Structure 1
């Protein structure tokens, strides 16, 4: 699925979910742990409850496509964002 078919806020929130998850993975006992966990919960709520999933385009295949596009964006953004080398990679966790 083309990324242009997803609402920009949905793609932004799914990408932020991966970035936040990667931050927790790199520094699981850091100062910001509780705040990052709260952010993951909020992002999960926003992604899962987005109105897009109520449309005919909101298929299970679209959910997978969204996750793939968002993960690819985090890998490209990782060096610029100052996150762990390699962009965190896929860890089997998804929203």
Structure 2
């Protein structure tokens, strides 16, 4: 398992929760905006500059995000 920074894992968990809520309540502008901000935070996190983006790392981070958001 890769050691992801806590703030990156937190952002991914919040992304998963927000995505699920948006799927349940489509058209909610505040949820779409939050999802956009969280996507940017995850995608451009400094961790990726240090370690590089690999499919395996993305999959692992998404798994952590789902697990932490009550889904997994």
Show CA shifts across 1:47-86 (max 9, x none): 00001011236433111100011111112xxxxxxxxxxx
Higher relative contact order (CA 8 A, sep 6+): 2
**Aligned with 1:42 (options 37, 41, 49):** 37
Show CA shifts across 1:3-59 (max 9, x none): xx1111100000000100111111214xxx001000000000000000101123643
Unaligned runs of 5+ in 2: none
Give the TM-score, by structure 2 length: 0.86
Q: C-alpha root-mean-square deviation of aligned residues, in Å?
A: 1.7
Give the TM-score, by structure 1 length: 0.67
* Runs of 4+ with deviation above 3 angstroms: none
Unaligned runs of 5+ in 1: 76-86, 90-95
Which protein is richer in helix relative to its size? 2
